[in-house]
Chain A
Amino acid sequence: MTQPDPMLEALRAGDTDAITTLVEANHRALRSYVASLCVGLDAVDDVAQEVFLRVLERLDKVASVDEFPAFLRGIARNVALEWHRRKGARHIRDVELLADALPGQEPSSSLASDEVLGALRHCLSLLAPRARQMLELRYTEDIEPTGIAQRFSMTPVAVRVALLRVRDALRTCLRNSSAGSALP
């Protein structure tokens, strides 16, 4: 007979510390998986929240906490597909194929550790001031590319491309750092 998993028992009892631990250990991998399924970036956190809630409602389907990453992904796939349907996507077969094609995330992924944020901070400090400013405007002030373009005397398309290049540079930097070595 298998021993009951204390973490799972605590989750089933509605223990808030256990729920917090579950969320903190998985939210980055989950949110990035949801974003990878082409869910609108403004809706990623809503979809992730719904996934966690459904997981908490279906704890009887999990035998061990080791199953959580795969369980979360399975539910995330369904919630993301629901989101696409609601947003009026005419067909969602492409998202289903993408969900199958995306490589799995190991539970020990560096995303679960806060060290990756430190590495990202370091990588940001290596960027040109103009590139850093663009990211700040986008993420801190939520300014659209049109607004950023006006400030930098660029076209919105050029801003979108520039932001893509900046992220490419950050990915390369993170890959080369020890904290982000597991990142793609």
Chain B
Amino acid sequence: MSAAADQSRARFDELLAQHLVGGLDADGRIELAGLAAGSAELAERLRGHAELHVLLAELYGAAGSRSMAARVLHAHARRGDSARFIERVVGQVARRTTHRRRPASFQRWWWLALAAGLLVGVIFTLSPVPEASSFARIVALSGGSAEIAGRPARAGDVWPAGQILVLGDQARMEIHLNDGSTLSVSGAARMVGAAGDDGVLLDLMRGRVAVVAAKQAPGRTLSVVSAQARVSVLGTRFVVDAGDDATQVAVQEGRVAVIVGGERHELGAGEAAEASAGRLRLHPRRIQILFGAKGTPLPAGALLDQAKAWDETRGYGWDGNPDEPIEVMTTNRGLMRGKRVGAEVVLKNRKPQYGYVSAGMFSEDRWRLRLPPGRYRVSVTVGDPGHPQGEHRVVVEGVALVTGVITDNELHQASAEIDVMDGELTMQVGGTNRPHGDGSADTVLSELAVERLGR
């Protein structure tokens, strides 16, 4: 084997090893594909490893024939259901359009008909799709690109019934429906929709849509269908976030009906729920998290954050920063003993009364909480009853809740109404680099309370 072939093989193996643990970016994958495309041996090696990966995933329970068949059946049934609705509506609209284009008394009003025909011709020439088949219009697009039926979409374009809208990963889009409703679409959404005599149906295959629904006429509904649920407006403002295995629904105003596994539920303002595996699970309206080490006293229903890294199952935690460990403490006012993350806290026969996490001493730390999209009252408590601390800084979803605050043997609380749009509440902590009190510049975080708002 030549030196060049050896090098290609070594590079290929390096990329393949990364790919098989899911650690390859877009450019790396394309490079891997290029190397495999240029060598039958490497293409065979890639195929062999891909097959083995699929078999191992199945054997260890990550995927399998039954789960794949169930996924396909479920998605097919849902897509068929909405496809039938959309097909029917597109057919209705097409018939009406044909009817409208045929003047009743062409002979008498021939000149008017001619002028109207010319106008219609101009409109049809200028519009990418017939206006009559559209049910919505894009008002704004930011953060990335989008496509309708494979063609680039822009602000001002109509969204015709039955045509698939796809958003790029970071793109956000505002859409006005003809019935006066507004959609805010994000999360790499892929959706199709239509409006008929009985209302509007949006089939959300993936991504997120926040709906501000216009008042619906009697007999009409606005519905969002995902793989796990059908959410219908009973009047108003809600968010549907469709993932692969679960759909999150959060109601901000009014009420919606949610059908999951054939069963109908109603959610009111301020309520949120998760639909998965044919069941609907209500999310708590209020979440209280205390920061501190094991042993920190907790009120009923409160959760404890022990400065551990983000965990998918737990749904909250810190983004890792191995160079700057976060300190976690439990204290009995005045006497503080604590160690770095992961260490036990020794209290020597003293009853703990107060806990905290000291973060952002040298640079900003980031903490996240999984939360259905919606509007929340967020309260943050910083400080330490036993020591001067600060300068504290806490920014929640871009809103500066605590800035320039120095506490002197006391606690400080701040709160604000905050919109969560992306399914996660993100808190940036510390990083002021302005030491105070004990000589450090950390933010001492004691409590976070989040309450969903509904009107």
| A80-98 with Cβ < 8 A to chain B | 84, 86-92, 94-95, 97-98
Does A95 contact B30, Cβ atoms closer than 8 Å? yes
| A150-175 with Cβ < 8 A to chain B | 159-161, 163-164, 167, 170-171, 174
Query: Number of B interface residues, CB 8 Å?
Result: 59
Does A38 contact B33, Cβ atoms closer than 8 Å? yes
Closest chain-A Cβ to B163's Cβ sits at a distance in Å of 15
Does B48 contact A184, Cβ atoms closer than 8 Å? yes
Cβ of B168 within 8 Å of any chain A Cβ, yes or no, is yes
Minimum CB distance partner of A110 in chain B: B51
Given A116-B55, A139-B62, A40 and B72 touching (CB < 8 A)? no
Total CB contacts across the A-B interface at under 8 A: 197
Does A38 contact B73, Cβ atoms closer than 8 Å? no
Does B36 contact A98, Cβ atoms closer than 8 Å? yes
Which residues of chain B have C-beta atoms less than 8 A from A142's C-beta?
A: 62
Which residues of chain B have C-beta atoms less than 8 A from A27's C-beta?
A: 65, 68-69
A38 to B47, CA, bound (A): 10
Q: CB within 8 A of B63: which of A16, A45, A97, A100?
A: A45
Does A35 contact B53, Cβ atoms closer than 8 Å? yes
Cβ of B71 within 8 Å of any chain A Cβ, yes or no, is yes
Which residues of chain B have C-beta atoms less than 8 A from A45's C-beta?
A: 63, 68, 71
Minimum CB distance partner of A14 in chain B: B80
B369-395: CB near A (< 8 Å → 1, else 0) gives 000000000000000000000000000
Does A20 contact B69, Cβ atoms closer than 8 Å? yes
Cβ of A36 within 8 Å of any chain B Cβ, yes or no, is yes
A91 to B62, CA, bound (A): 31
- Chain B interface, >50% SS class: helix
Does A94 contact B60, Cβ atoms closer than 8 Å? no
Cβ of B149 within 8 Å of any chain A Cβ, yes or no, is no
Closest chain-A Cβ to B60's Cβ sits at a distance in Å of 4
Q: CB within 8 A of A117: which of B20, B40, B59?
A: B59
Cβ of B337 within 8 Å of any chain A Cβ, yes or no, is no
Which residues of chain A have C-beta atoms less than 8 A from B30's C-beta?
A: 38, 84, 89-92, 94-95
A102 to B49, CA, bound (A): 13
Does B53 contact A41, Cβ atoms closer than 8 Å? yes
Q: CB within 8 A of A160: which of B17, B43, B68?
A: B17
Closest chain-A Cβ to B222's Cβ sits at a distance in Å of 25
Closest chain-B Cβ to A168's Cβ sits at a distance in Å of 8
Does A111 contact B56, Cβ atoms closer than 8 Å? no
Which residues of chain B have C-beta atoms less than 8 A from A163's C-beta?
A: 17, 20-21
Does A171 contact B29, Cβ atoms closer than 8 Å? no
Closest chain-B Cβ to A24's Cβ sits at a distance in Å of 5
Which residues of chain A have C-beta atoms less than 8 A from B52's C-beta?
A: 167, 170-171, 174
Does A97 contact B48, Cβ atoms closer than 8 Å? no
| B131-189 with Cβ < 8 A to chain A | 166, 168-169, 188
Cβ of A12 within 8 Å of any chain B Cβ, yes or no, is no
A37 to B69, CA, bound (A): 22
Given A32-B50, A38-B29, A120-B55, A49 and B37 touching (CB < 8 A)? no
| B4-48 with Cβ < 8 A to chain A | 13, 16-24, 26-27, 29-34, 36-38, 40, 43-48
Which residues of chain B have C-beta atoms less than 8 A from A97's C-beta?
A: 33-34, 37-38
Does A36 contact B47, Cβ atoms closer than 8 Å? yes
Does A135 contact B56, Cβ atoms closer than 8 Å? yes
A163 to B18, CA, bound (A): 10
Cβ of B58 within 8 Å of any chain A Cβ, yes or no, is yes
Cβ of B215 within 8 Å of any chain A Cβ, yes or no, is no
Query: Number of A interface residues, CB 8 Å?
Result: 69
Which residues of chain A have C-beta atoms less than 8 A from B347's C-beta?
A: none
Minimum CB distance partner of B56 in chain A: A139
Cβ of A56 within 8 Å of any chain B Cβ, yes or no, is yes
| A10-34 with Cβ < 8 A to chain B | 14, 16, 19-20, 23-24, 27-28, 31-33
A168 to B226, CA, bound (A): 40
Cβ of A128 within 8 Å of any chain B Cβ, yes or no, is no
Which residues of chain B have C-beta atoms less than 8 A from A111's C-beta?
A: 51, 55
Which residues of chain A have C-beta atoms less than 8 A from B36's C-beta?
A: 38, 98, 101
Which residues of chain A have C-beta atoms less than 8 A from B20's C-beta?
A: 41, 160, 163-164, 167
Does A145 contact B50, Cβ atoms closer than 8 Å? no
Does B17 contact A28, Cβ atoms closer than 8 Å? no
Does B244 contact A46, Cβ atoms closer than 8 Å? yes
A97 to B73, CA, bound (A): 32
A24 to B64, CA, bound (A): 9
A39 to B40, CA, bound (A): 19
Does A101 contact B48, Cβ atoms closer than 8 Å? no
Closest chain-B Cβ to A23's Cβ sits at a distance in Å of 4
Does A31 contact B54, Cβ atoms closer than 8 Å? yes
| A98-127 with Cβ < 8 A to chain B | 98, 100-103, 111, 116-117, 120-121, 124
Nearest 10 Cβ contacts at the A-B interface: A35-B50, A97-B37, A94-B34, A139-B60, A32-B51, A160-B17, A38-B29, A98-B37, A23-B69, A184-B48
Pick 25 A–B contacts, CB within 8 A, sort by A.
A16-B73, A20-B73, A27-B69, A36-B51, A37-B33, A41-B53, A44-B54, A45-B63, A45-B71, A53-B76, A86-B168, A92-B30, A98-B34, A101-B43, A116-B55, A138-B21, A139-B59, A159-B21, A161-B17, A163-B20, A163-B21, A164-B17, A171-B48, A171-B52, A184-B48
Known: A56-B76, A139-B60, A170-B56. 5 other contacts (CB 8 A): A35-B53, A86-B169, A94-B34, A136-B60, A139-B62
